[in-house]
Structures are given as C-alpha cells and as structure tokens.
Amino acid sequence: MEKQAENIIILITTSSFHEAERLAKTLVERRFVACGNIVREVHSIFWWKDSLETEQEALLILKSKMSLFSEIVAAVQSLHSYDVPEIIALPIIAGSEAYLDWLTKETQPSPT
C-alpha cells in the first residue's frame, strides 16, 4: 500500500496539443513523470478576471510520485503559457503491481 499512497495522477490543462506535448516531453525527459497522456480537445468553461470564459484546451494527464510534485509544479509554471495554470494531483489508490513498479522505476534519476 505504501507505493500506492505515493503515486499520483496530475491534471494540467493547456492552450493546445502542442503545448501539452512540449510539457509532457520535458517532464518525462527529466524523469519527473513516468508517462504523459494528452486528450487533444476539452471544452472548458471557467471564471477568469470576473468574466465567464469558454475555451478549447488540451488536457495533460501525468503519472508520477507525490515526492516530485513540487518540482513538477515549478517546471510547469516556468514553461506554461497561462498565468495560473491548472496543476492538480489526485492519489492513485490502487493499481496493478507491475504498473506501479514501472512508474516507480521510471521516475528515478538517470545514472550519470
């Protein structure tokens, strides 16, 4: 159960598929996340600066560990086009042992 408590899903909306892809590649290359999935189009409705907005966005779904979350947030904030990007984490409460082992392995620093 320890592994499961540490593992998280991170959701990030982006302005486009290309921005989501760039963020995912950067985070995977840095081994902050094991995997990134991109949903090409989501229709978002939200308040921004006292105005009701609707936008077509892409949704980035990342798999990682809670211990890396602050590094992920810092990286996303420095690379994202939004002033206030959505960066939220949800716990993975269960998963196949093989997948969770893979997630742990792929979020280890690369040997130099």
> Any idea what DSSP says for residue 110?
P
Determine contact, residues 45/52, Cβ cutoff 8 Å.
yes
Q: Identify whether 112 is part of a domain.
A: no
The domain that contains 80 carries what CATH number?
3.30.70.120
Q: Identify whether 96 is part of a domain.
A: yes
Q: Identify whether 21 is part of a domain.
A: yes
pLDDT in tens, 75-97: 999 999 999 999 999 999 999 99
Q: Which domain holds residue 17?
A: 2-106
Number of domains in the chain: 1
Q: Identify whether 111 is part of a domain.
A: no
Predicted local distance difference test score (pLDDT) of residue 3: 54
Q: Identify whether 83 is part of a domain.
A: yes
pTM for this one?
A: 0.91
Q: Identify whether 56 is part of a domain.
A: yes
Per the document, the length of the chain is 112
- Sign of the alpha-carbon dihedral angle for 70, 72, 77, 83: negative
Q: Identify whether 67 is part of a domain.
A: yes
